[in-house]
Structure 1
Amino acid sequence: MSTQDYLKDITEIKNLMNKSSRFISLSGLSGVLAGVYALFGAGVAYYIVKTSARGYLILDGSIFKLCIAILLGVAVLSVLTGIYLTTKKAKKNGEKIWDRSSKRLILNFLIPLVVGGLYILTTLGHQKYGQTGALMLIFYGLALVNASKYSIGDIRYLGFTEIALGLIAAVFPGYGFWLWVLGFGVMHILYGAIMHFKYD
């Protein structure tokens, strides 16, 4: 057996181990669409706030509730799109959508995300609104980094970017909205496009 054959066998074994321990069928296109949804939602919210009677956001008013509804709509649409496109890609690759690796991926993604969501709700309950955008970016970034161990490793770079943007937003809360747009909108589109051309 030649050295080339040994290297080929080692590569195949490595690929098999990678497939058994990581969920690699995440769709890059779903990242692009999530970014588009975020930009659209942010644009609609910005327009609603700027054309309201006051021209700025009142955090206990109906405009604020409408903006929260838009945010939740963006999140739900992004998740549903991600599930659909990832399921489609997994079937195409002959992978199971709900196996040990995908369960570990979801669990490790949700732990920081749920904790962050509860913390954000707690701070909003105490009428501390200034750091909401920063906290969203930071906890989402932590969720991506935590989940990257069980999926495509490149996800961690998006996570690090979101964390960095969140920390900048914490230092400059007046730019929180635009950093949120950059993190959830532009970075998702950029990352999704890279992943689409690299893996899809």
Structure 2
Amino acid sequence: MKAEQDYIRDIAEMRSMMERSSKFLSLSGWAGIMAGIYALSGAFIAYRILYFNPDEIVYDTIKSGNLSFSLLKVMLLAITILVLALGTAIFLSYKKAGKRGEKLWNPIAKRLLINMAVPLTAGGILILILVSKGLIGLIAPFTLLFYGLALYNASKFTYEDIRVLGLVEIALGLVSSFYIGYGLIFWALGFGVAHIIYGIYMHYRYER
């Protein structure tokens, strides 16, 4: 009986070692929760303080190089949220990697980053093109869509649960493309609510 238990334990340890060597497992559930909080706060500020209402600017056209001041403020707010979310994710992942006795930057992390960077870079360039053409209403749907593609593409290098989050973001992006006037709401759902739910799930499943 004891020999059988030792055999099972050895198999579990081997499986854990193989998983650590092939997947990036330092992602923190709290990083997802904080990213969601940042996104919801940003959506509130954009709507209530900066008076950003996609329903009013869906059919607006903005000449290239002549962005409105209000749109520039919203873009600056979005960049601030992105920096906060990335900074928090890096810091919490660094702490989690330290607890696991691992390095944050390793070949698996590099492959994860590359697989996320390709769709994110393509999406970022496309969004800049949309802004230059005045197609502001498509920004929220396309950010959700390309972010979801990036998560789905990178899921094979980390927790498989991220694939589900990617599919949720893709679905929200597609639906938001149909209901363009509600882009800010879908953006808040995708980057805010979905991230918080995902973060809570990841924390209770993998970090407790």
Aligned to 2:99: 92
1:149 corresponds in structure 2 to 156
8 Å Cα contact 1:50-1:56 kept in structure 2: no
- Alignment RMSD: 2.0
Per the alignment, do residues 51 and 79 of structure 1 end up closer, same or farther by CA in structure 2, a change over 3 Å counting? closer
User: What whole-Å deviation, never above 9, does each CA across 1:104-157 have from its counterpart, x for those lacking one?
Assistant: 111111111111111111122222222111100010001011111111111111
**Counterparts of 2:192 and 2:34 in 1: how far apart (Å)?**
9
SS of match in other structure, 1:104: helix
Q: TM-score, normalised by structure 2?
A: 0.89
Counterparts of 1:56 and 1:68, CA distance in 2: 17
Q: TM-score, normalised by structure 1?
A: 0.92
Tell me the SS of whatever aligns to 1:25: coil
Instruction: Tell me the CA shift for residue 15 of structure 1.
Output: 1.3
> How far apart in 2 are the matches of 1:131 and 1:123?
7
Aligned identity (percent) is 44
For residue 127 of structure 2, the aligned residue among 110, 113, 120 is: 120
- Aligned partners of 1:48 and 1:63 also within 8 Å: no
**Partner amino acid for 1:133?**
A
Shift of 1:51: 9.1
Question: In 1, Cα distance between the equivalents of 2:82 and 2:14?
Answer: 38
Question: Quick one: which of 167, 173, 176 aligns to 1:166?
Answer: 173
Matched, 1:67 2:68: no
Q: Which runs of 5+ in 2 are unaligned?
A: none
Deviations 1:73-117 (A, max 9, x none): 000000000000000110011111111111111111111111111
Q: Which residue of 2 aligns with 1:8?
A: 9
Which amino acid letter does the alignment assign opposite residue 193 of structure 2? V
Q: Report the Cα offset of residue 47 of structure 1.
A: 1.2
State the secondary structure of the residue aligned to 1:131: helix
* Contact 2:52/2:70 (8 A) holds in 1: no
Which deviates further from its counterpart, 6-15 or 116-125?
6-15
Number of aligned positions between the proteins: 198
Q: Secondary structure at the match of 1:156?
A: helix
2:119 touches 2:147 (CA, 8 Å); kept in 1? yes
Q: Secondary structure at the match of 2:191?
A: helix
Query: Displacement, 1:43?
Result: 0.5
* C-alpha distance in 2 between matches for 1:39 and 1:87: 25
| Residue 190 in structure 1 maps to residue 191 in structure 2 | no
Instruction: Output aligned runs, 1:20-59, within 5 Å.
Output: 20-50=21-51
Amino acid at match of 2:48: Y
